[in-house]
Amino acid sequence: MADARSELASPELIDLRTDTVTRPTPGMREAMAAAEVGDDVYGEDPTVTALEAEVAALFGHEAALFAPSGSMANQIALQLHVPPGDELLCDADAHVVTYEVGAAAAYGGISSRTWPAVGAELDPDVVAGMIRPDGYFAVPTRAIAVEQTHNRGGGGVIPLPTLRRMREVADEHGVALHCDGARIWHAHIADGVPLAEYGVLFDTLSVCLSKGLGAPVGSLVVGSAEKIARARFLRKRMGGGMRQVGILAAAGRYALAHHVERLADDHVKAARLAEAVAPHGVLASVVRTNIVPLDLTKHPLDAHALATAARAEGLLISVLGPRTARLVTHLDVTDAQIDRAATILNTALRA
Ligand SMILES: Cc1ncc(COP(=O)(O)O)c(C=O)c1O
């Protein structure tokens, strides 16, 4: 008997809920099957070591650490910068404080304070005004986290000059700057900024292989050799030490070689969907990457009703709030499926 899960996995359904739903391609599976492996907790997996070196070099840093998830990579990085009780600043929609189920507080004892989120916008001067120095009765700010691209910010891209200003602010106040770069690859493709130019602006980055890049598992923390040595310790403490994990690192290496440039296709597909829904007045912001954010505040359908209507026609979308929904393009969605999705959305939104 088919359960709900196997029904969702049905190939007839067009799944635009997120870009984590992709399955490894045949080429990726071959690379995984052929991977040389060893015990990575002993530092003996050559494929993991190669992936870590490759990703560190891409971002112009000394070292990187393979982690089982983007959430763990982020939380390891935050613990590197913020001692228990001290403070992290980020925007109110940041993944680190929205979707990581309180990990900063639960595992790191970290206090988080947020600035109001407006899409992917970032105003370094607003952030500068929030930084609290060491002092009696105050919680000292130790780190700032930004998200590139911004998930709840509709896949928006923070411009390079803004990030450079953010770096200056961090330096002026002696606080660390972390980038949740789960989809930094998309920013690189959308704005043509070399990954290393982003990399040098941050003390640490977390970058994800299992979103747009299509690997089944894996993220990396990127930073200095000293920070990554400590990160290795924190990963083990959090239960993230894995053994013959070269099988997964091989998928990541394959993704880096084959799936970065093709992200441009996902961006074109997202733009086509945006064009289809825009006349209905529900596009929340300009679409720059692979996320199409929908704002249904002025539409008769709420997010749940739209998702239900789309589901009835074989299209899955994400409901993010009562009047907010999201479509995400990815490796496993074809041009024909985008056409079909556009028709389904047009019909539902017209009703
Ligand atoms: C911006 C961002 N950061 C981090 C993560 C966490 O990744 P994971 O699901 O691998 O924990 C996600 C997941 O969607 C994300 O969108």
Supply the pLDDT for residue 219: 98
How many Å lie between the centroid of ligand 1 and the Cα of residue 100?
A: 8
At residue 4, the pLDDT reads 39
Q: How far is the CA of 159 from the centre of ligand 1 (A)?
A: 21
Test site for ligand 1: of 72, 184, 211, most ligand atoms within 8 A of the Cβ: 211
Report the separation in Å between the CA atom of 48 and the middle of ligand 1, taken as the mean of its atom positions: 21
Q: How far is the CA of 182 from the centre of ligand 1 (A)?
A: 6
204 lines ligand 1 (CB under 6 A): no
Predicted pLDDT of residue 29:
98
Q: Residue 176 forms beta bridges with which residues?
A: 143
From the alpha carbon of 18, which atom of ligand 1 is closest?
Answer: 14
Q: Which atom of ligand 1 is nearest to the CA of 20?
A: 14
Task: Establish whether the linkage from the previous residue to 114 is cis, with ω within 30° of 0.
Answer: no
Q: What is the pLDDT of residue 11?
A: 60
Cβ–ligand 1 distance for 95 under 6 Å, the answer yes
pTM for this one?
0.95
Going by alpha carbons, the residue nearest to atom 8 of ligand 1 is 70
Nearest CA to ligand 1 atom 4: 70
DSSP 117: P
| Residues of the chain scoring pLDDT < 50 | 1-7
β-partners of residue 204 are 178
Nearest to 72 by CA among 213, 157, 182: 182
30-67 confidence digits (pLDDT tens): 999 999 999 999 999 999 999 999 999 999 999 999 99
C-alpha torsion angle, residues 127, 129, 134, 138 (rounded to 10): -100
Q: Where are the alpha helices (DSSP H) in 109-245?
A: 124-130, 160-173, 184-191, 195-199, 225-237
